[in-house]
Amino acid sequence: MLAIDTVGLRKEFGEKVAVADLTLKVQQGEIFGFLGPNGAGKTTSVKMLLGLTRPTSGRATLLDHPLGDRLSRAKMGFLPEHFRFQEWLRADEFLDLHGRLYGMSQQARAAAIPDLLELVGLGKRAATKLGAFSKGMLQRIGLAQALLNSPRLVFLDEPTSGLDPVGRRLVRDIIHGLREEGTTVFLNSHLLGEVELTCDRVAFIREGVVVETLDLHDTHTEQVHVTLRVGQPTPELLVALEQFGREVAMDDGRGRVSLTLPDESHLPGLAHWLTHNGHTLYELTPRTLSLEDRFMQIIGDHSGDT
């Protein structure tokens, strides 16, 4: 079953098109990253999925219910990017309030709240008012409220932006725990390292359009960056290497040549061609592109200003 299924979601603010075409399919139980530069339409997309903003056109279902349906919202959790909450409430009161908004019974709330406070490392802060919380603690209590109803789909908008390395590790572990329980996580983050460590798939959005979706576990079909060191590299060699890949270039003064192969299956052919054409091969180092490399390839110079 699809946790999120959108077709051509579009949002216009007057003449400005914030999201031109959001077409996504997110499987139940996967950790899905949503990436793009500032101003690409990520926030508006997430707001449309959460029912905070009405799409101008297009259609979508979340957990098999139409967009904005209360039945789907009952099974969803959301940690907002701007994790500002009622600072005059105590941590346990805050979670109790959100439990009531989820329609949870008093017994269910009483059982879930202490466990969640422990889970996010705030077990001893139950009676502390949120006004006395640090930024990281607010983000953790926000995460706890997003998990109160044992959701099947969780939206996490920049969930580690206010956290120290220990807090980031904690959030990563919680996300992995959610995956084991079969919960779908929709992760919107600028921290590509975190996304790479956490997500199963990612989608890239540029200028309001989903331009590419990647499976981060599928290394066989990933592009491979290769560094070669051969005896006497010539300009003719560089031209000949273009039959294998793109971005062929010679490193200045080191005799090394770099190029990008479509995937790792081209590696043996490249090595064979070099040795059979009289090139002495001293080094062939493949390196899978990092998510940041992929991000730069896909998004390129389209980073926005906002």
Report DSSP state, residue 289.
P
- Note whether 38 and 305 are within 8 A (CB): yes
Q: Is 85 in the site for other proteins (CB under 8 A)?
A: yes
Cβ neighbours around 249 below 10 Å, total: 12
Say how far apart CA 109 and CA 15 lie, in whole Å.
Answer: 45
Six token digits for residue 270: 């490249």
CB 195 to other proteins: min, Å? 22
Q: Is 1 in the site for other proteins (CB under 8 A)?
A: no
Q: Is 54 in the site for other proteins (CB under 8 A)?
A: yes
The nearer residue to other proteins, 62 or 174, going by C-beta atoms, is 62
Q: Do the bridges between strand 65-66 and strand 57-62 make them parallel or antiparallel, or are there none, so unpaired? A: antiparallel
CB 16 to other proteins: min, Å? 13
The nearer residue to other proteins, 84 or 220, going by C-beta atoms, is 84
If we measure between CA atoms, which residue out of 161, 152, 153, 125 comes closest to residue 141? 125
Report DSSP state, residue 221.
G
Strands of the sheet with 16-27, listed across from one edge: 65-66, 57-62, 2-13, 16-27, 209-215, 201-206, 31-35, 184-188, 153-157, 76-79
- The correct pick among 1, 7, 52, 249 for binding other proteins (CB under 8 A) is 52
CB 49 to other proteins: min, Å? 10
The nearer residue to other proteins, 125 or 294, going by C-beta atoms, is 125
Six token digits for residue 49: 């999925």
Q: Is 86 in the site for other proteins (CB under 8 A)?
A: yes
Q: What is the DSSP string of 131-158?
A: GG--HHHHHHHHHHHHHTT--SEEEEES
Q: Is 110 in the site for other proteins (CB under 8 A)?
A: no
Residue type, 215: D
If we measure between CA atoms, which residue out of 47, 37, 35, 38 comes closest to residue 11? 47
Say how far apart CA 49 and CA 209 lie, in whole Å.
Answer: 15
The nearer residue to other proteins, 163 or 226, going by C-beta atoms, is 163
Burial class, 142, CB count within 10 angstroms (exposed 0-12 / middle 13-18 / buried 19+)? buried
Residue type, 120: V
The nearer residue to other proteins, 47 or 206, going by C-beta atoms, is 47
Q: Is 70 in the site for other proteins (CB under 8 A)?
A: yes
Which positions from 229 to 268 touch other proteins by CB under 8 A, shown as an x/- string?
----------------------------------------
Q: Is 152 in the site for other proteins (CB under 8 A)?
A: no
Q: Which of these ranges, 72-80, 187-195, 206-214, 288-296, lies near other proteins under the rule CB under 8 A? A: 72-80
Q: Is 84 in the site for other proteins (CB under 8 A)?
A: yes
Q: Is 103 in the site for other proteins (CB under 8 A)?
A: yes
- The correct pick among 38, 59, 88, 231 for binding other proteins (CB under 8 A) is 88
Q: Is 73 in the site for other proteins (CB under 8 A)?
A: yes
Q: Is 80 in the site for other proteins (CB under 8 A)?
A: yes
* Interface with other proteins: number of residues (CB under 8 A): 28
Contacts to other proteins by CB under 8 A: 47, 50-54, 70-71, 73-74, 76, 78, 80-82, 84-86, 88-89, 97-98, 100-103, 142, 145
